[in-house]
Structure 1
């Protein structure tokens, strides 16, 4: 019974902590009403959180906010993150779901660098290699990243025609990036390789800045124009789950 009571108290304390995280600057009365507990219970639950530095209560106003201990915990968590490790589970899950090659890339403007690859052994293997680079303007992963970067990055960008489908007009590329932001995913429709289509979505870090992109690639015989519309939301959802694991609040 005592252990069960401790667990219940811990859960309630965590509820209080999470509510202060989402709604900083509450008084004791406001916090108690928000979490459905008495003021005396909130005082009891917050005392050890304040001692540990996870919460702070202003001496003059009495308002609650996160303490410096929360920052230390957050930084310790971020220090343990490795993008490839964080994305691995979702990349394999996405590959199993769609049956096509999944890539993970990071920006190196005006290129992207492929840092991981998950292939479906039953399908045609993609020629991409981990460590190789691709152009930012005509790959889906590149455009997914570029769509959330400052507009100035387009200035001076060389739009080399890789195939007859490559976008080589900067205004047309601007319009394409705006469309990517609206729908949440990018498409390379034979723009980098003549027989390959690719669908990609951006990955955001704990500062909600674009840090990477994940994609699904395959031959046009397998990834038809109609299938692109099915894959887009799936890739975007995978990217959102990876972003969440990295600490992003972007939805």
Structure 2
């Protein structure tokens, strides 16, 4: 009789511990090449003792690992296995990769595939350029919508109200001098991109890099991903943007068709 009232508290505590453990996992994943225990605790606002207990539990299950040389906690093998389980449950990457290789051969530049994740995008796969100087975006990396090529491609499918909401809740962080941080200017920019069928990141996410991206649609004509061509601004000149944009749009359409998707009417 005396234990019944404690049951909900116990379940609540278990949920809280799970939430905290997932937060630990997420913060390590977002901070390559890892963080110290103190750094993790500070970022999450947890006591070091609580953080250590969560880390050792995750370590036992191989979701994190400890690097004694750097004293950093890093993502473990099981997290990679779990992530691959997600990828294998969808055929997006396997279907898109042959088209991505063709895109790389045609453009000579690096090709990225990304999916929307709330008000960000996450890179899923990449086919690297054969050039010595090339762009690298680690699969699993999370970037803002407003200043990345793949993100802006997804933004092109959103309404002005959606863009205002993102600007008011997430903010439009300035990553370079060219980053568009004014919502009205961003909406005007995207309005010019929509008729073209591709979005441009003109050194807005990283100085010296350009990225051209188009949307991949699902069977409901909803955006499910974006594919991009990325490279140094020295190689992707202003004169080449239209041609590269048309290449990106063409292959995005090919991937959409291969997945059984369809673009919205008028797109």
Give how far 1:80 is off. 8.1
Report 1:178-197 matches (<5 A): 178-197=191-210
Q: How many residues align?
A: 173
Report 1:129-140 matches (<5 A): 129-140=138-149
Q: Work out whether residues 81 and 246 of structure 1, in 8 Å CA contact, stay in contact via their aligned partners in 2.
A: no
1:142 aligns with 2:151: yes
Report 1:155-170 matches (<5 A): 155=165, 156=168, 157-170=170-183
Counterparts of 1:149 and 1:191 in 2: how far apart (Å)? 20
Counterparts of 1:240 and 1:131 in 2: how far apart (Å)? 24
Counterparts of 2:90 and 2:206 in 1: how far apart (Å)? 33
- Please, what TM-score do these two structures have when normalized by structure 2? 0.62
110-119 vs 172-181, greater mean Cα deviation: 172-181
Give how far 1:128 is off. 1.5
1:213 aligns with 2:263: no
Report 1:45-194 matches (<5 A): 82-154=91-163, 155=165, 156=168, 157-194=170-207
Give how far 1:177 is off. 1.5
Counterparts of 2:215 and 2:262 in 1: how far apart (Å)? 13
Selected match of 2:214 from 193, 196, 201: 201
- Secondary structure of the 1:176 match is helix
Query: What is the CA deviation profile of residues 40-66 of structure 1, one whole-angstrom value per residue up to 9, with x for unaligned ones?
Result: xxxxxxxxxxxxxxxxxxxxxxxxxxx
Q: Work out whether residues 100 and 123 of structure 1, in 8 Å CA contact, stay in contact via their aligned partners in 2.
A: no
Counterparts of 1:120 and 1:144 in 2: how far apart (Å)? 21
**CA RMSD, Structure 1 to Structure 2 (Å):** 1.6
- Mind listing any 5+ residue stretches in structure 1 that lack a counterpart? 1-78
- Secondary structure of the 1:222 match is coil
Give how far 1:228 is off. 1.2
Q: Which runs of 4+ in 1 moved over 6 A?
A: none
- Mind listing any 5+ residue stretches in structure 2 that lack a counterpart? 1-87
Give how far 1:162 is off. 0.5
- Please, what TM-score do these two structures have when normalized by structure 1? 0.66
Looking at CA atoms only, which structure, 1 or 2, has the larger radius of gyration?
1
Counterparts of 1:109 and 1:146 in 2: how far apart (Å)? 11
Counterparts of 1:204 and 1:123 in 2: how far apart (Å)? 33
